[in-house]
Amino acid sequence: MTTAVSIPKTGGSGGRTAVAARARQVVKAYGAGETRVTALDHVDVDIARGQFTAIMGPSGSGKSTLMHCLAGLDTVTSGEIFIDETEITGLKDKKLTRLRRDRIGFIFQAFNLLPTLNAIENITLPMDIAGRKPDKAWLDRVVETVGLAGRLKHRPNQLSGGQQQRVAVARALAARPEIIFGDEPTGNLDSRAGAEVLGFLRQSVDELGQTIVMVTHDPVAASYADRVLYLADGRIVDEMHSPTADAVLERMKNFDARGRVS
């Protein structure tokens, strides 16, 4: 199974497509000739709007590469990627940068924040760069949601790892991007802090209608998602809706076993 296109192309509310992002026949390869390594092998995927999608897979499966390509951070060898109706493959750096700035939010595993800026400055940074004024009411709500009200003037080095990730979540939410990409956003956190951050992400999908794509290898993290995509050897090999941690773990074990046998 190399596709995960299971959602009608239009639907939902407001006339916008129900698909926030889609990939068509995306190939990402490094090197050439005998040393050629294929990280993504003709992947088709649709990311549903207003949903929390998790991408899972063993190390080297291409899950991070897929996310980077979807987010416009990396280029593809062939194939097409759309954010909403905009094709981003082939966009020049300038337009791509603007797209990331205005339409995409990011949460990374670590080094999410500029050490020279305090929490609130970090949260509003994408809007500041764009020269946009943040929507005060929205900003307050986001800050309230992630529970940072008392720490807005703190520098990152004065915040705990969990708090830092919450600032990163707030930054991603504050600009109201069409889609937020998370690259193992809880990878560096203990389980309690991780649960907190995942809770916020879930909440933002449920209450704010945010679209989120998250790469993870943690079944518990994946269980917060609406849908889990499984990648192996650069292909989408399976997907699961309304996952639970146990179910995800079970399916992972299967893949591992299969991988070992073959």
Partner 1 sequence: MTVLKTSMRNFLAHKGRMALSAVAVLLSVAFVCGTLVFTDTMNATFDKLFANTASDVSVAPKKDDDAQETGKPQALPAALQGKLAKVDGVAKVEPHVTSMQLTVVNGKNKSLSPTSGAPTVGTNWDESQKKSVEITSGHAPHGPAEAVLDSDTADKHGVKTGDKLRVIAVPGDFTVSVVGIATYKTTNPGAALLYFDTATAQAKLLGSADAFSSYGLTAASGVSNEQLKERVTTVLGSSAGDYAVRTAAESKEENKKDVGSFLDVMKYALLGFAGIAVLVGIFLIVNTFSMLVAQRTREIGLMRAIGSSRRQVLRSVLTEALLLGVVGSVLGIGGGIALAVGLMELMGSMGMKLDLGELTIKASTPVVGLAIGVIVTVLAALLPAFKATRISPMSALRDAGTPADGKAGKVRATIGVLLTALGGLALAAAAKADDAKAGSGMLGLGVFLTLVGFIVVGPLLAGFVVRVLSAIVLRVFGPVGRLAERNALRNPRRTGATASALMIGLALVAALSVVGSSMVASATDQLDKSVGADFIIQSENQQPLSPAAVKAVKGAGHVEHVTEYTIVNAKITTPDGKTATKRLSAVTPTYADDVRAETVKGKLKDAYAKDAMSVPEGFAKDNGVKLGDRLKVAMTGGRTAELTVNAITSDDTSIDQGAMYTNIATARNYLPADKMPLDFMLLAKAADGQTKEAAAALKASVEQYPQIKVRDQSDYKKLIQDQVGQLLNMIYGLLALAIIVAVLGVVNTLALSVVERTREIGLLRAIGLSRRQMRRMIRLESVVIALFGALLGLGLGMAWGTTSQKLLALQGLGVLDIPWPTITAVFLGSAVVGLLAALVPAFRAGRMNVLNAIATD
Chain positions contacting partner 1, by CB under 8 A: 64, 68, 73-74, 93-94, 97-98, 100-102, 105-106, 108-112, 114-117, 121, 125-126, 128-131, 157, 171, 183-184, 187
Return the half-sphere exposure (C-beta side, CA atoms, 13 A cut-off) of residue 48: 21
Nearer to partner 1, 17 or 65 (CB): 65
Find the shortest distance in angstroms from Cβ 251 to partner 1.
Answer: 25
Nearer to partner 1, 107 or 228 (CB): 107
Give the number of other CB atoms < 10 A from CB of residue 160.
12
DSSP 206: H
Nearer to partner 1, 7 or 170 (CB): 170
Give me 195's structure tokens.
């649960």
Q: Which residues 6+ apart lie within 8 Å of 171 measured at CB?
A: 105, 112, 113, 122, 123, 124, 125, 126
Find the shortest distance in angstroms from Cβ 33 to partner 1.
Answer: 23
Find the shortest distance in angstroms from Cβ 175 to partner 1.
Answer: 9
Find the shortest distance in angstroms from Cβ 183 to partner 1.
Answer: 6
Straight-line distance from the first to the last Cα atom of the chain, in angstroms, rounded to the nearest whole number: 17
Nearer to partner 1, 17 or 109 (CB): 109
Nearer to partner 1, 7 or 39 (CB): 39
Following DSSP, what letter does each residue of 77-125 receive, concatenated?
Answer: SEEEEEETTEE-TT--HHHHHHHHHHHEEEE-SS--S-TTS-HHHHHHH
Find the shortest distance in angstroms from Cβ 258 to partner 1.
Answer: 27
